[in-house]
Amino acid sequence: MKYVREMAVIFGITLVGEILNLVVPLPIPAGVYGLFLLLALLCTGVISLPDVEHVGGLLLDLMPLMFIPAAVGIIEQVEELKSVLFPALLITVVTTFFVMAVTGKMTELILKKQRRNK
């Protein structure tokens, strides 16, 4: 019964995100609304981590399966993609390193701030 309750909480928040997507006229995906809503509820203590932890972990474990159809679609269209393959790979590599660098710097800043506050 615990898993059903956790799933209901997660799907309920997802539903609210979908409703916000229909009501708020911003170009933000419904999933992003749901994620920020869940984050806000977790940060304020309205929902505690154990209320969604097990099903959330299960969904994270199953996430790689969701990329299989996209990968198969890319493999099937490889001939059409050959003309843009090099630029796409270059952009992917450059942006990956950029994201890694920014994430590392932000982590350092947060850790320094936490050390100063202690």
Over residues 12-27, the pLDDT tens digits come to: 999 999 999 999 989 9
Q: Whole-model pTM?
A: 0.63
Over residues 56-113, the pLDDT tens digits come to: 999 999 999 999 998 898 889 888 888 888 898 999 999 999 999 999 999 999 999 9
Q: What angle do CA 57, 61, 64 make, to 5 degrees?
A: 145
Q: What are phi and psi of 48, to 5 degrees?
A: -95, 160
Residue type, 48: S
